[in-house]
Amino acid sequence: MAQWLVAYKKADFKRIGERFGIDQVTARIIRNRGLTEEPDIRRFLSGGMDDLFDPHQMKDGVLFADILAEKIRAGKHIRVIGDYDIDGVMSAYIWKKALLSCGAVVSAVIPDRVRDGYGLNSKLLADAASAGVDTIVTCDNGIAAIPEIAFARSLGMTVLVTDHHAIPFEEEEGGKRFLRSEADAVVNPHQPDCGYPYKELCGAAVAWKEVQLLYERMGYGQEAADVFLENVAFATVGDVMPLTGENRILVKEGLKRIHHTKNLGMLSLIAQCGLTPEEIGCYHFGFVLGPCINAAGRLDTAELALELLFAGDAKSASLLAAELVARNNERKEQTNLGVEAAVRLAENGGYLSDTVLVLYLPEVHESIAGIIAGRIRERYYRPTYILTKGKDGVKGSGRSVEEYSMYERLCRCSDLLTRFGGHPMAAGLSLPEEKIGELRRRLNEDSPLSPEVLTEKLHIDVPMPVDYVSMELVRQFELLAPFGKDNPRPLFADRNLSVSRMWLVGKNKNVLRLSLISEQKKPVAGIFFGDTEVFFAYMRERFGEAALEAALGGRENALRLSVVYVPKINVFRGEETLQFEIVDYR
């Protein structure tokens, strides 16, 4: 069972509440997000475009813009090279569209996941040189492509890098030695000597910052780049970046703009998913629209998604969007089969004693390895690598837990790998098949994790009786949005709730509704979207079959619950009521 951890950070919540016109509960949540100073609280609650940091603070930012402006004016052929995920596609769109608006001679390429692999490679660069390309602009990749950039320079090309991935390093006595390529300019806030204050930008946000500087050089003004904020927001959520600091503002501003988007491809994708622009939120970026963009790069080529964003008429946009949705449905089926195979291997192959799971599924398509790794990570709550058989050896993707930095631990095994890269929470790698066992052994020997650490944790913001919750308070919580990584939707806890009735609803009868009574005898509506069979088994074991059947029949019973919950406003036939979503229970 998950550990319930209650936040006990201290502050003068009454004063904060009065200062910002918010409830003390809302003030507690803000403190739990690590904010203590009034300027930071104000920025969190009402920050806007004026609160964004100056792109001139990016290391190499001005140099990059100067070189690119000179190339544009000289009519040189510029090639944008992106990546096949949401961030890479949005980054490539931003760069190509911005360069076209500056009158550049520009083409864009997104590597094929199977044929080319991630980021730059010698074939892509040789093809560019053969096509007369003078300048390579990378986005969402390039920081680790040290030999590839050296090759491009040997072909006489200028290379400009925008990226946000971790800087490669070598372990030395006394610490790390960070590596740098021969690129003419590198813009990445993670560079150790970069003074940009906020480090957690996605690749599209880094590209957007640099486009601001380019537009300034070309006489357009930085604000002309704001048209790309919807793409920056999409990429920030889709790449699971922290929704803190500057990212919160970028996503809020981007959501405002996508509600009025004029991009025909975006409009068609939204429509194909049964949505309207006005209702798009972070959830839709991450779990509805985003997977459709990703599906193109998983099962074929992500250039289809880029083509969608450049669609010039409604008919072609609609056809492209329908194709992406169909591919996403195909991807879902393949993913479910892959997850089943991974569970069988983990549970029958003696892997569950490992604190880092390294599972080799040669028949699984490499494009869905990351999704499967994420599902297995959720199931067993431990870092998980899913490895598959690729054209040139084994490829894999990993998804981590908050206590374990994947990229850093892979650096210590770099002698086993042909390629790797990523973040603390996710990574990609390639290696010879015969090295899989050694990788598993070394990752686990080097693992700092213990069984105690490898238990899912629910961070409860406030132990709050359901009686305290009001419509006004729930609406106030929306000031804390957008929710996502490092800024989760607030969780609360209450105990000794009586169950007066519960019943299954939904097409597949897999959603549980509950009529609950608080300790103060107040009736409240509950809903549970989790595994109802597990819930019933727990209730049966704790209270007995008779009590469970009585609750399901709406009769008097002995069922009592302590719950972790999210309060929401339910709208049914125009009537608003409070509803408490049960996240966990005891």
Reported as a single tens digit per residue, the pLDDT across 364-398 is 988 899 999 999 999 999 999 999 998 778 999 99
Of 160-174, 314-328, 498-512, the poorest mean pLDDT is in 160-174
Q: Report the distance separating Cα 380 and Cα 340, nearest Å.
A: 14
pLDDT value of position 170: 85
| Contact of 355 with 448, CB cutoff 8 Å | no
| Contact of 161 with 182, CB cutoff 8 Å | no
| Contact of 200 with 241, CB cutoff 8 Å | yes
Angle between helices 86-101 and 290-299 (to 10 degrees): 100
pLDDT per position as a tens digit, 200-213: 999 999 999 999 99
For Cα atoms 219, 89, 192, give the angle at the middle one, nearest 5 degrees: 70
For residue 359, give the H/E element and its range: strand 357-360
Q: Report the distance separating Cα 24 and Cα 476, nearest Å.
A: 11
pLDDT value of position 298: 75
Residue 2 pLDDT > 90: no
pLDDT per position as a tens digit, 244-293: 999 999 999 999 999 999 999 999 999 999 999 999 999 999 999 999 99
**Alpha-carbon distance values, 572 to 469, 472, 569, 579 (Å):** 19, 18, 10, 11
pLDDT per position as a tens digit, 395-412: 999 999 988 999 999 999
Average pLDDT over residues 448-464: 90
pLDDT value of position 380: 93
For residue 41, give the H/E element and its range: helix 38-46
How would you classify residue 506: left for phi > 0, otherwise alpha for psi between -120 and 50, otherwise beta? left
Looking at residue 219, the DSSP 8-state letter turns out to be T
Q: Report the distance separating Cα 354 and Cα 443, nearest Å.
A: 10
Side chain identity at residue 228, one-letter code? F
Side chain identity at residue 84, one-letter code? Y
Q: Report the distance separating Cα 64 and Cα 217, nearest Å.
A: 11
Phi/psi for 439 (5° steps) reads -65, -45
pLDDT value of position 299: 65
Q: Report the distance separating Cα 58 and Cα 332, nearest Å.
A: 39
Q: How many other C-beta atoms are found inside a 10 Å radius of the C-beta of residue 509?
A: 10
The contacts of residue 566 (CB under 8 Å, 6+ apart) are: 489, 490, 491, 492, 580, 581, 583
Give 572: exposed, middle or buried? Use CB within 10 Å, 0-12, 13-18, 19+. Answer: exposed
Residue 51 pLDDT > 70: yes
pLDDT value of position 579: 97
**What mean pLDDT value characterizes the chain?**
94
Average pLDDT over residues 231-248: 96
pLDDT value of position 404: 93
The single residue listed with the structure tokens 């209650």 is 6
Encoded tokens for 96: 């190509």
Helix ranges (DSSP H) in 193-348: 203-217, 229-238, 245-258, 264-272, 282-284, 290-299, 303-309, 314-348
Tell which wins on pLDDT, 296 or 415: 415
**Alpha-carbon distance values, 382 to 260, 324, 438 (Å):** 41, 32, 19
pLDDT per position as a tens digit, 331-340: 999 999 999 9
Average pLDDT over residues 515-533: 95
Tell which wins on pLDDT, 457 or 440: 440
Q: How many other C-beta atoms are found inside a 10 Å radius of the C-beta of residue 559?
A: 20
Average pLDDT over residues 317-326: 96
Measured between alpha carbons, how far apart are the two ends of the chain, in Å?
9
Beta strands in 63-189 (DSSP E): 77-81, 105-109, 135-139, 158-162, 169-172, 175-178, 185-187
pLDDT value of position 582: 98
Of 69-73, 397-401, 455-459, the poorest mean pLDDT is in 455-459
Tell which wins on pLDDT, 175 or 260: 260
Phi/psi for 21 (5° steps) reads 65, 40
